[in-house]
Structures are given as structure tokens and as C-alpha cells.
A and B are shown apart, each in its own frame.
Chain A
């Protein structure tokens, strides 16, 4: 399949060079310059180099209502996904960092789990999200603990003056996967009300050849069923000309069986996840900026059970996060100053903790964009946090951007970052393991150089190219080691991560035709530089396990009037399973096809989409021994109701 990939890449490159032009309007998966000074949810990204951020907008997401967030990130953002089977647990990793080194923002709140530092992606149905942004590289100065490898931001965006909008989608996929969702949005001049609900279930008993068992039997995946549902309710109000109040409420519940490794013949493991998130935001515009205050409450519950081995564990946690920001443009419309205060409270309960540990966190942060001359901007950020009774190391970031050279622009960034230990690191007890309350914070520094090329020929032929190279060092990383027969965490490891990321988007418009191609590639060389005392010397300076050095995506889209066809190819390089590289997972590449008929306009726009995944029947694994499905299909029907905007209906609401 690598030959196909290279062929496709060459084809795309051959189509591109004649016409180079930049555009954003049709590019729903685009690199955006975000200069909206009063956008609460993503406003802080403006203090990073703009080309650093990849955005998936609501139009793009509406074409993928039933998809999992982790699949989207893997298919379109070159994010490294580690999945324990089709319905199993999924972790993400950015730029060779650990899975708990990715901050996940929900409407601006960093909601990494205080117990394990991760985020359960199954609890973020794409149907509820209006915008996904991926920012790679350290940005703790802006987003706090954990933002060492990058940030994934999920936003809800409510618009005023859109009238009445309702939507419904239903999908049926292979292995008895049923999904559906409903939405209602009432949008007036001063108020917006939105409610969404979704439900889904799947048996996921896909066939596969178990190459790890005697006789290589053809089997069906067992213990892989999943059921989930959720609802969201959101409101926004304009109060006078200066104030905006918005609220967000999400509830998601997922019950899933955890499939066995191919080397095991059965599993009776399952996991129930439940999440409730509620937040309110108040924004007040002043002459030269705005004041933003927001507060959120987050409840998570996880119940893991293994009936085969008579084991059950219940974990619950709660976070309260409050933040106040003052955003100013003191001297010029292009200068931005942001001053902020964050106060968080976290509490957890688990059979594996003695009591219910809790902690308070207070952080001060500030950012500034300075335009020395019109085409050069400097971006500075700093943050310090007080956690219980100690200050974390102060962190900062420095970025510079210039667009002196016609279609070319360049940026540079340097940041220092940190992650505080999780409750598991500090307080775990049980299963021959014990947390260490004396742990220090992890830290890292990250440097990056990048280039953008944007070329637009009368908006008919458009090309954007983004390339960057990064170099990062992670120190004091927490590692669990055996000590007197008990596993306990210590600050020990050091990791050096460097690499190159490139992305090319080419669009060609002609009358009713659109051809669009996206090619992205990343090379991440992430190596262990300081090992634990019990590890052999052979692990030093070697690529980290389960971190592919090479990863790439190719998407080709052809649209004619209401019809569209998309072919995508994802490429994931070889991944080592053992730290001395004696064992590995093979590289793989997946081909997917999507065919859509989309009727836009009118009061009832509707669409029907057909997705054919893994068309080349690639046998692959993202975690060793966990089978993944071969060819599979999904049919998605969606219909919307859209009234005219209120301003055209004169006083009906």
C-alpha cells in the first residue's frame, strides 16, 4: 500500500505547482489566522503563531456527525492514536509526547482528568461540537499544566440572528452500528437557545483472522459492544450593546465492553463512563477590549469491571474551574494584551485512594502581541501557578511572525511548559502499586520554526503550504518503577523530541466543479535520553515505543454540484513495541472513500452520505495484539430545517 500512497502523493504534487494561490473560504480544514479579539472560547490561540493551528469548522464537522473525535484527529490532523481495539480505550499523542501531555480544552476550559491526566475521547461526540482546533507544540503559558505536546480545543459557537434551525441525522454502519441525533436551535437577535441529543449502539463483532492463535481461526470480535447517549443544552444572550452571557451543559454516558487482545481468547471486561459538564461565561466589551469571566463544573465517573477475574473499580472526580480575563488593545487595533486569573478546585474518589484527595490551583497568566512594525508581530506569554502549597516553575512562550516576503510568511516560537502530577501519581494505592506524594512537576521546553506559503489566483486556484520544524526536551518525566516489590512513580525520564510537519492544501474551482487535495506529513523522532535505573542501556537514544516516526494523510475531493466524492489515504509508519526495538508493529496505510449527495438551500436541506472505510482490507493494529476491522460501511442521512434569518422575517420573534 505504500506504493499506492507514493503514487497518490506524486499525483497531487503534479497537479499543484502550476497554480498557487491562498484561500480560506472553501477550506473547511484550514490553517486560520484567528484575530477575533472577543471570541471567548478560542481567543488565547491568537497569542501563538497563527499557522500553528489547524481548525475544523462546523461545516466540516456537520459532514461527520457520527464519527469519533479520535478518528477525525487521526484521519485529518496526523495525530498519533493508540486504540485498544475498535471499541476499546483510545489515547492520543502529539509530537511524540505522552498521552497526558495533550491538553484538551472544552469551551476554553482545560479538562484533563485530574486522576490520570488523560481525556476519554468517547465522551466528546462530534455531533455536539461546532469547532475542533489542533495546536501542536508546548503552550503551557497559555493553557496551563499538561499542554506540553499540544492542545486539542473543542468549542461550541452560538450565532445570533439565524432564525429557527433544526436537524436530524441517522446512520447505520457495519457490525450493527446505529446512531442518531436531533438538534434544535432558536436564534434571535438577543438570544440563542440550542439543544442537541444523540444516541448510538454497536455490536462491533467484526470478523478477523486471529493470527495469534493456533490454526489462525477466523473469528468474530467478541466483547466489543458499545452503547452511548447524551444531550447538550446551550444558550447565549446579548445584554445591551456590551454584554454577552452564554451557558453550556453537556451530559454524555457510554457503556462499552473492552475487547480482548488477540493472544487472549476471551474478555469479560467493561467500562462505564459518565460525564457532566456545565459552564457559564460572561463577556463585557469595553472601549479597547473586553472583560471575560467564566466558570465551569465538571463531573466524571468511571466504573471498570472484569467479571472473569472478579474485579471492579469505581473512580469519580469533580473539577471546578473559574477564570477571569481582561483583554485589551491598548495602543493599536493589532496589539493585544491579555491578563488572566485561573482558580481551580479538584477532588477525586476511588477505592484506590485513601480518603478523597483534593487540591486547589491558582494561576496568573498574561499575554501580549506587539507589532513593532506593520509586518512583524511578537507574541509573548507567561504563567505561574500555585498548587496546594507550592509554585510550579514559571513558564513562558515567545513567538514571532513576519509576512514580509509576498506569499511567504515565517514564524518562530519558543516555550517552556509543565505538567503537575496526577492524583494517581500522588495517591494511588493497591495492585502492588503506590503513589508518591513527593513527586515534582514535569517540565519541557519547545522551539519551533515554520513557514507558510499562500497563493490565490482569483479564488479559482488556491494553494497553501505550511511547514514547520520543532525541537523539544521533556525532563523530570514521571515514570513508575518497582521498589521493594511495589510500583511507585518517580521523576526520572528525559525525552528529546524533534521533527518536521508539512501540510499542503490545493483547491481548484471551475464552474460547478471543485477539486481539492490535502497532503500532510509528519516526521517525529522522539527518543529516550535519560532512563530509569532498571532499564538496559540499549533503550537510550531510541525512538519511543508506540510513536511512529512517519505519519501522513492524503485526501482528494471532487465535487460537482450536489455530488461529492472523497478518497483519503492514511499512512502510519512502523511503531516499536519494546523500548530496545526488538519488537514492533508494522507500518500500515488505510484507504477510505466517501460519497455524498447534498441538497443545500430551501427550508429543508438534506444529505445522504456513504462511507466505505478500509477499502483495501488492510490488516493493522494501533496497539499490539488488538484486532481492527477490515472493510466496513456507514450510511448517514441527515435533514435540516432552516427558517429565514429573523431580520428578514420582521418581528416574528
Chain B
């Protein structure tokens, strides 16, 4: 199932990148196909990025499916969240051109979720991912807003969004995670303080990001204790610790 999801995601990601490139290059001449956007070049470029991200998820899923131990449930859910988010967002960026890649990515996400749900530890994994996924929402908001900002603010916004996402990935390394969180959240909010939106997003990022880091440490601590007590039963549930 994961292998099929990986292929679907790779195919969907490739088509998404093509759709984005078409919108960026010819969006003005075929507005009925690209959602009649005011700035098809920008949105097309963003869509290419989204397609590459989805393709990368698909590639990772394919590799994970080939490994004997499979992929950790938490990472499967994270991949499903990314595929689902890209699958939905694309409908607002390139219009009709998304009618093929979008459903492919959503189908891939559905397959991955089905596989994760089949496992016994899906609930626990989802709880583990819940706060990072929520923190990713305002981080993605940064990326969205950066797409319309002036060059300096846009750079701060893109860097900020990516830094916050990176902080979530390394959230168990507390100092690095906090450093990335602060470096990601603050510059864009300071540069565009007058917008109201970015300072509010920064506060949400810092609060939810802090909770994610604290939760990750607490979970890691609990996991190490569990491994010490019952390493045999712990091992299959999360291959990260193998």
C-alpha cells in the first residue's frame, strides 16, 4: 500500500510541477485553465515547489516501502499530512491544471493514512505529531504571506517559515529547535509588525512551537524509559529506535 502511495505521490508531484511551470509560463494566455489568477507567474512557481515537495514525499515513501522494517507510523502520518495539504492547496494556485495531480496526491495521502490506521500505534503517533502539525499551520501562513511581500520581507518570510518547519523536525534537540524557532518567527514579524497578521502568527508559532519541543522531550524521555523496561515490544512500533 505504501509502495503504491509512493508511486502516486511521485506521479502527482511530477504532474504538479509541470502544472506549476505551465501556469508560470503561460498562465496569462490560458487563464481559464489556470484559475484566472492575477499573478500566475508567482502562483505557478509556488506550485512547482509544492510539486517537488510532494514528489520528495513520494520518493521517501517508495524507499520506506522497500525497507524490511517499513516506516515509522509518525513519519507516515507526517507524509500524509504534507501530501493532503499540497493536494488541497494546489486547487487554489493553478485552477483546472490541478484536476489530475490534486486527486493523485489526495489518493496517496488516503492510502498512507489507511496504512497508518491499520497499525496499532496510529493514535499515539497522531498525538505525538499533533502539536508539530498545528505549529506548521502558522509557519505555512508565513510562506503564504511571503509570496506577496516586498523582496526583503519575502526573504524573511520564506526563511522564517522554513526555519520553523525545520525546528519542528529537530524538536528533540532542544537548543537547536528553540534557536530555529526564534530565528524563524521573529524577523518576518518585526519587519512587517504593522501588518497585525505576522505578529499574531509569531506569537502562535512561539507558543505552539514551545509546546511541541516540550512535548517531544517528554515523549522522548518516556520512550527511553519504555525501551529500558520492555525493549522487545517497543521495537516494532517505531523503527526510529532500532
Bind each other: no
Binding site for A on B (CB under 8 A): none
